[in-house]
Amino acid sequence: MRSMDAKARKALATIRECVEDGRYLVLPHFRKRMARRGLVWPDMLAVLDDPDGVRSDGRDDWSRPKWVVNGTATDGLDVEMVCILDVDDDGDMTVFITVY
Task: Report pLDDT digits (tens) over 18-62.
Answer: 999 999 999 999 999 999 999 999 999 999 999 999 999 999 999
**Is there a domain that residue 74 lies in?**
yes
**What pLDDT is recorded for position 4?**
79
**Is there a domain that residue 49 lies in?**
yes
Q: What is the domain range of residue 31?
A: 6-99
**Is there a domain that residue 1 lies in?**
no
| Percent of the chain that is helix, strand, coil (3-state, to 5) | 35, 40, 25
**100: which residues sit within 8 A by CB, 6+ positions away?**
33, 37, 79, 80
pLDDT greater at residue 3 or residue 16: 16
Residue 1 has pLDDT above 70, yes or no: no
**What pLDDT is recorded for position 96?**
97
Residue 67 has pLDDT above 60, yes or no: yes
Torsions phi, psi for 31 (to 5 deg): -60, -45
- How many domains, the chain? 1
**What pLDDT is recorded for position 16?**
98
**Is there a domain that residue 53 lies in?**
yes
**Is there a domain that residue 16 lies in?**
yes
**Is there a domain that residue 50 lies in?**
yes
The CATH number for 42's domain is: 3.30.2310
Q: How far apart are CA 65 and CA 14, in angstroms?
A: 12
